Chain A
Amino acid sequence: MNNETFSIQINGKEFPAKEGQTILDVAKSQDYLIPSICYHPNLGSIQTCDTCFVKANGEMVRACTQKAEPEMVVDSQSKIVKDAQYEAMSRILKNHELYCTVCDNNNGNCVVHNTAEYLEIEHQKYEFKPKPYPPDNSHPFYRYEPDQCILCGRCVEACQDLQVNETLTIDWNRESPRVIWDNDVPIDQSSCVSCGHCVTVCPCNALMEKTMLGEAGFLTAIPPKILEPMIDMTKEVEPGYNEIFAISEVEAAMRKSRIKRTKTVCTYCGVGCSFEVWTKDRKILKIEPHEDAPVNGISTCVKGKFGWDFVNSEERLTKPLIRKGEEFVEATWDEALGLIATKLKEIKEEHGPDSIGYIASSKCSNEENYIFQKFARSIMGTNNIDNCSRYCQSPATTGLMRTVGIGGDSGTMRDIEKSELIIVIGANPAESHPVLATRIKRAHKLHGQKIIVADIRKHELAERANLHIHPKPSTDLVWLSAVTKYMIEQGWEDKEFLQSRVNDVEKYKASLEKFTLEYAEEITGLSKAEIIQIAEMIHEAKSVCILWAMGITQHLGGSDGSTAISNLLLVTGNYGREGTGAYPLRGHNNVQGACDFGTMPAWYPGYEPVQDKDVRERYEKAWGVSLPEKPGMNNHQMVEGIQDGKIKAMYLFGEDMAIVDSNSNHVQDAFEKLAFFVVQDVFFSKTAQFADVVLPAAPSLEKDGTFTNTERRIQRFHKAFEPLGDSKPDWLIFQELANRLGANWNYKDPGEIMAEAASLAPIFAGVNYERLEGWNSLVWPVKKDGTDTPLLYEERFFFPDGKARLYPVEWTPPFMAGKEYDLHLNNGRLLEHFHEGNMTYRSEGLTYKVPNPWLDVSAELAQERGIEDGSLVRLTSPYGQVKVRVMVTDRVKGNEIYLTMNSSEDYEAVNRLTSSYHDKITHTPNYKEMGVKMDVLEEKGEPPLPKVNHRFGNRIPQLSVKVEEKWSRLDFTPIPELLEGEKYGESDQAN
């Protein structure tokens, strides 16, 4: 039935409609205007504004809820309908003062303004009454002005059911209803995670970004002393709203020439949110998400919505720096590039091309990664090139390459939304992939999606999960294999799928022999009942997605753990269908793209091996050089190579390796030994301190390019303003350096680089900038004709015979630091800061919300050691020590502690503690396997996390805005009743 089409009549015209569409949907799909204010395409109908009243088959109904039916006759223009809409709008204006010309929201997209104008509201029918509440300016990023709030509930719907943070409600029971945060506390002290959903969907100026206030309009900076009488006077003399609208429209049009709107893609995590950035000169007025953005719609997290101050930070690098003695001295580009060219050439000639290592950036664009690997391979003659995926998801890539053939997510966010069962293992999407987490929370809350979380921490998704299991650290492979074995024993495997689409089934089944329930119970600490429950939930679900991250990969057996996940999905037939698949969640905005475009020691762009003669010849022909045949060194091998004297020089861009690589003492020690080191960054990072030349690069807002998100989705971003100072886009720096070393490159813009990559790498064959205009995106593989592949493996797996492979794996016990190191050290990201905080600490608001890293300690351990919130402790591992303050929490248990990674200071950086042990296949460090001991330095102290943090809030979960409570208020009369009561008693004509 879902796709059945029929037609309905609106005002005498035929409209095609689909089963399940509302009248409003039908009208909108044909760009036909029926007024509406509270309806939003990403939120659905809220039923508070009543401006969409129409007559359907003679009955007065809300167009946003009434489903279209065959032969339906809709009237949105007759007198009574117009009267109803007019009445609804008049009621709204009782709550909202129209002073559009001096309002910062008058940017042509104000829903209240546009609807009032469309409905030809001439005068205020009901007198505007201010509400008895002052504006709430407590939050650093946005304000709420109750006087302007029309109580449409969009913000509540967004907070409750789209973001699902469950902070906002409307209290309908007071004399003057208003939006409240938690139990009516100032916004700043609530559970608000500052994601900005509410501000983005507000149809007027009640909720606004503080960066817009007094900035967006030409007249909006007028002080209140003058502004208030001006508003009064305008209202006194106005002949009607018509004239006001005319003036405000002129003003809104004028703003367009001053406020630049640029589409960009978020530069934080791997989810890949896209939105507009509104700028006035170099000032960022706001991030404006858009319902058509393919990944996120109007959703954002606090960093994407509010975390862009770093771009204009005073601390940006604006000039090249050259080390002279004990200091860096500012230099010209000519001096800096000249020195780099000379030095690299010398070292290459003296020690050979493989004596130089190249570290690429997963924060930079696909084009920049492509051109950097081209530089390393074709100009410098080495495959010694790698990127930071080595630190995170390389093991996942290996697990998937072994089993299904492509090292990326099997599907997109649509599949995660639609899946019946989501299993999250060793990942904390609510903080590390916030917008992706919203889709799971929404599906769980509204559509009955089930969630299993396997994690040693009780993070937000774990709290919400149907089942949260807490296996012993580093034992996931064991319970995963036990679940798989149990399901096969029960006959719950997908026999037909295994038969027709999977190889090595029997060999794999035999390898499971040891993974009995008893064995799993012993190794993982889970009960048999828990393991059986997981198996049953997978069996009962028609579709399953498994999401994982560093909790699986950053172990000695990271690749095998990832493989076990994929094996389980194969055995249960959860690949190649909507709502199924494997989702290694990518950490950086472009870690997927950096790998895709060839900054890896063994792969050309598009995952073609450097050892493959045909492939290599293709690149040799295109680039006119001969290329090295052997795979180069990865990050880890380069660091070891420096220690061994094999690597003499390094060129690194957009990566703070001195902080993010494990065992940072060891890494920093290696950097000190380099004969020559180039670091290219936006900021003077910890790594830059070791450099001989530091080059100032430009961040995404200052250049063009594309990023590829965790879904394999390629999206374009555009330049919003010029590079700051003398900084330059990375791709331009590489081109200028390459040309000094004899290349004759002449790329005018990144589009030309992408065209070259697409012509060489078959999986990007159809990628070009025209196909990526506006909100358009492409999910690779992309065929020459532009057909992309949001869902992989529908027909074939990515192997020559098209069949998947079950891959037997063994469990690797974790690294043990020794008996005296009695606490298990876990570590990772936070919502508010990205990684070590290189960008996010430049935002005053983010730093105010989270000023410090901290150590999560369980109540049991705190009691045992006599510590409390604010105590200062020293953690010591065999590799180093840190000092950090404590927060006592139930997020961790027993002797497991969690150190947040938001610090660039050596004395509190987690990688002072981690080791150089690593996954045996990919060399990804085992960041998540470390034992430490704890000494208490100060028993009392200032808690590291201020009370204004959302973690101290008190959520108020409910479904939507509870409009029924509005309808049951004594002062509410339904509009049809009101009109029929007056003079329209005969309105229900039968025709």
Chain B
Amino acid sequence: MAKAIRQINKSSPNPEEVQKESLANLLQAISANQDALMMTLDIIKGLHEMGVLEAAKSMLEQSEDIGAIAMKQANQPGVHNIIKNGMAAIQFAGSIHPEQLQAVLNGLNLGFERMLDVVQTGEQKGLFKLASSLREKEVLVSLTTLTEFLHGMGEAFKQENNKVHE
């Protein structure tokens, strides 16, 4: 004969035993990682003395408010510019053909070497000599290149100008 019953005696484990077991597990982990834990404690002590922990605790507690303030600060034209400039710079770097850049850099390198020679020797050229060096092939190539650079830059400026007045 078994009447319907609803009573369930949950042998919920003795809280003291549960605590004891967790403590034993913890102790085992501590002794296995003694060196690392000691060093961590030193670091924590230092951070505590500097007041960093207290600040961090407050920040965590107020994370939503602080997050909102941080976003407000970040969401400013200056920061937008920094990010946009950063991205523009990266895009620019990405758009240059490496071989061409290599050629320009080689040119710069040689140019610098010649320039430094002059700086070291203190040599000065007369006006006539300067004028005649304009006829030299190397100088002409450089000047043509620079003029083309100016052309290109001007073109971009002009386009930008047109956009504004569209």
A225-B64, A226-B64 are known contacts. Are A672 and B3 too (CB-CB below 8 A)?
yes
Q: Is the CB of B7 within 8 A of A672?
A: no
CA–CA, A690 to B4, complex, Å? 5
A236-B80, A692-B2 are known contacts. Are A327 and B7 too (CB-CB below 8 A)?
yes
A225-B67, A230-B71 are known contacts. Are A672 and B4 too (CB-CB below 8 A)?
yes
With a CB–CB cut-off of 8 A, which chain A residues contact B87? 237, 239
- In chain A, positions 225-245 with a C-beta closer than 8 Å to chain B are 225-226, 229-230, 232-233, 236-237, 239
With a CB–CB cut-off of 8 A, which chain B residues contact A323? 2, 5
Determine whether B165 belongs to the interface, using a CB cutoff of 8 Å to chain A. Answer: no
Q: Is the CB of B10 within 8 A of A330?
A: yes
CA–CA, A673 to B3, complex, Å? 9
Kindly provide the distance from the CB of B95 to the nearest chain A CB, expressed in whole angstroms.
13
Q: Is the CB of B9 within 8 A of A671?
A: no
Interface residue from B5, B7, B10, B75 paired with A229 (Cβ < 8 Å): B75
With a CB–CB cut-off of 8 A, which chain A residues contact B75? 229, 232-233, 236
With a CB–CB cut-off of 8 A, which chain B residues contact A330? 8-11
A225-B68, A237-B80 are known contacts. Are A327 and B9 too (CB-CB below 8 A)?
yes
Interface residue from B4, B71, B91 paired with A233 (Cβ < 8 Å): B71
Kindly provide the distance from the CB of A694 to the nearest chain B CB, expressed in whole angstroms.
9
9 shortest A-B CB distances, which residue pairs? A689-B4, A327-B7, A229-B71, A226-B67, A330-B11, A237-B83, A225-B68, A229-B75, A233-B75
With a CB–CB cut-off of 8 A, which chain A residues contact B65? 225
The 0/1 profile, CB within 8 Å of A marked 1, for residues 67-94 of chain B is: 1100110110001100110010001000
Q: Is the CB of B10 within 8 A of A671?
A: no
The 0/1 profile, CB within 8 Å of B marked 1, for residues 314-330 of chain A is: 00000101011011111
Determine whether B153 belongs to the interface, using a CB cutoff of 8 Å to chain A. Answer: no
CA–CA, A330 to B11, complex, Å? 6
A233-B74, A236-B80 are known contacts. Are A672 and B2 too (CB-CB below 8 A)?
yes
Determine whether B97 belongs to the interface, using a CB cutoff of 8 Å to chain A. Answer: no
Instruction: Please list 14 pairs of residues, one from A and one from B, whose beta carbons are closer than 8 Å in the complex, sorted by A's number.
Output: A222-B67, A223-B67, A225-B67, A225-B68, A226-B64, A232-B75, A233-B74, A237-B80, A239-B87, A323-B2, A327-B8, A329-B8, A658-B4, A690-B3
Determine whether A764 belongs to the interface, using a CB cutoff of 8 Å to chain B. Answer: no
Interface residue from B1, B3, B9, B79 paired with A329 (Cβ < 8 Å): B9
Kindly provide the distance from the CB of B88 to the nearest chain A CB, expressed in whole angstroms.
8
CA–CA, A230 to B83, complex, Å? 14
Most buried by A among B2, B6, B10: B2
The 0/1 profile, CB within 8 Å of B marked 1, for residues 665-693 of chain A is: 00010011110010000001010011110
Q: Is the CB of B4 within 8 A of A226?
A: no
- In chain B, positions 2-41 with a C-beta closer than 8 Å to chain A are 2-11
With a CB–CB cut-off of 8 A, which chain B residues contact A328? 5, 7-9
CA–CA, A226 to B67, complex, Å? 6
CA–CA, A232 to B68, complex, Å? 13
Closest to A691 in B: B2
Closest to A222 in B: B67
CA–CA, A954 to B99, complex, Å? 72
A226-B71, A229-B75, A236-B75 are known contacts. Are A684 and B8 too (CB-CB below 8 A)?
yes
Known: A223-B64, A668-B4. 5 other contacts (CB 8 A): A222-B67, A233-B80, A237-B84, A237-B87, A328-B8
With a CB–CB cut-off of 8 A, which chain B residues contact A326? 5, 7
With a CB–CB cut-off of 8 A, which chain B residues contact A233? 71, 74-75, 79-80
* B residues neighboring A (CB under 8 Å): 1-11, 64-65, 67-68, 71-72, 74-75, 79-80, 83-84, 87, 91
Interface residue from A229, A324, A658 paired with B68 (Cβ < 8 Å): A229
Kindly provide the distance from the CB of A495 to the nearest chain B CB, expressed in whole angstroms.
60
Q: Is the CB of B72 within 8 A of A229?
A: yes
Closest to A673 in B: B1
With a CB–CB cut-off of 8 A, which chain A residues contact B74? 229, 233
The 0/1 profile, CB within 8 Å of B marked 1, for residues 297-321 of chain A is: 0000000000000000000000101
CA–CA, A223 to B5, complex, Å? 48
Kindly provide the distance from the CB of B31 to the nearest chain A CB, expressed in whole angstroms.
31
Q: Is the CB of A672 within 8 A of B1?
A: yes
With a CB–CB cut-off of 8 A, which chain B residues contact A674? 2
With a CB–CB cut-off of 8 A, which chain A residues contact B7? 326-328
CA–CA, A229 to B64, complex, Å? 13
Q: Is the CB of A327 within 8 A of B5?
A: yes
Interface residue from A230, A239, A673, A689 paired with B5 (Cβ < 8 Å): A689
CA–CA, A323 to B83, complex, Å? 70
CA–CA, A791 to B84, complex, Å? 65
CA–CA, A319 to B5, complex, Å? 17
Most buried by A among B68, B79, B91: B68
Closest to B88 in A: A239
With a CB–CB cut-off of 8 A, which chain B residues contact A686? 4
Closest to A322 in B: B9
Closest to B77 in A: A236
Most buried by B among A222, A237, A330, A668: A237
With a CB–CB cut-off of 8 A, which chain A residues contact B64? 223, 225-226
CA–CA, A203 to B112, complex, Å? 61
CA–CA, A686 to B3, complex, Å? 12
- In chain A, positions 125-153 with a C-beta closer than 8 Å to chain B are none
With a CB–CB cut-off of 8 A, which chain B residues contact A684? 6, 8
Q: Is the CB of B80 within 8 A of A321?
A: no
With a CB–CB cut-off of 8 A, which chain A residues contact B3? 672, 690
- In chain A, positions 623-638 with a C-beta closer than 8 Å to chain B are none
CA–CA, A324 to B68, complex, Å? 59
Kindly provide the distance from the CB of B18 to the nearest chain A CB, expressed in whole angstroms.
15
CA–CA, A326 to B11, complex, Å? 15
CA–CA, A765 to B72, complex, Å? 68
Kindly provide the distance from the CB of A682 to the nearest chain B CB, expressed in whole angstroms.
15
CA–CA, A677 to B7, complex, Å? 17
Closest to B72 in A: A229
Kindly provide the distance from the CB of B41 to the nearest chain A CB, expressed in whole angstroms.
32
Kindly provide the distance from the CB of B38 to the nearest chain A CB, expressed in whole angstroms.
34
Most buried by A among B1, B65, B67: B67
CA–CA, A326 to B8, complex, Å? 9
With a CB–CB cut-off of 8 A, which chain B residues contact A671? 2, 4
With a CB–CB cut-off of 8 A, which chain B residues contact A673? 1
With a CB–CB cut-off of 8 A, which chain A residues contact B4? 658, 668, 671-672, 686, 689-690
With a CB–CB cut-off of 8 A, which chain A residues contact B83? 237
A233-B75, A237-B80 are known contacts. Are A677 and B2 too (CB-CB below 8 A)?
yes
CA–CA, A689 to B84, complex, Å? 70
CA–CA, A691 to B5, complex, Å? 9
Kindly provide the distance from the CB of A65 to the nearest chain B CB, expressed in whole angstroms.
39
Kindly provide the distance from the CB of A232 to the nearest chain B CB, expressed in whole angstroms.
6
With a CB–CB cut-off of 8 A, which chain B residues contact A222? 67
With a CB–CB cut-off of 8 A, which chain B residues contact A321? 8
Kindly provide the distance from the CB of B144 to the nearest chain A CB, expressed in whole angstroms.
34
CA–CA, A658 to B75, complex, Å? 65
CA–CA, A677 to B5, complex, Å? 13
CA–CA, A161 to B46, complex, Å? 68
With a CB–CB cut-off of 8 A, which chain B residues contact A691? 2
Kindly provide the distance from the CB of A673 to the nearest chain B CB, expressed in whole angstroms.
7
Kindly provide the distance from the CB of B53 to the nearest chain A CB, expressed in whole angstroms.
24
With a CB–CB cut-off of 8 A, which chain A residues contact B91? 239
With a CB–CB cut-off of 8 A, which chain A residues contact B84? 237, 239
A226-B64, A236-B80, A330-B11 are known contacts. Are A689 and B6 too (CB-CB below 8 A)?
yes
CA–CA, A229 to B8, complex, Å? 53
CA–CA, A773 to B36, complex, Å? 49
CA–CA, A329 to B7, complex, Å? 9
Kindly provide the distance from the CB of A544 to the nearest chain B CB, expressed in whole angstroms.
48
Kindly provide the distance from the CB of B87 to the nearest chain A CB, expressed in whole angstroms.
5
CA–CA, A323 to B75, complex, Å? 66
Kindly provide the distance from the CB of B114 to the nearest chain A CB, expressed in whole angstroms.
40
- In chain A, positions 486-524 with a C-beta closer than 8 Å to chain B are none
Kindly provide the distance from the CB of A323 to the nearest chain B CB, expressed in whole angstroms.
7
Q: Is the CB of A690 within 8 A of B8?
A: no
Kindly provide the distance from the CB of A499 to the nearest chain B CB, expressed in whole angstroms.
59
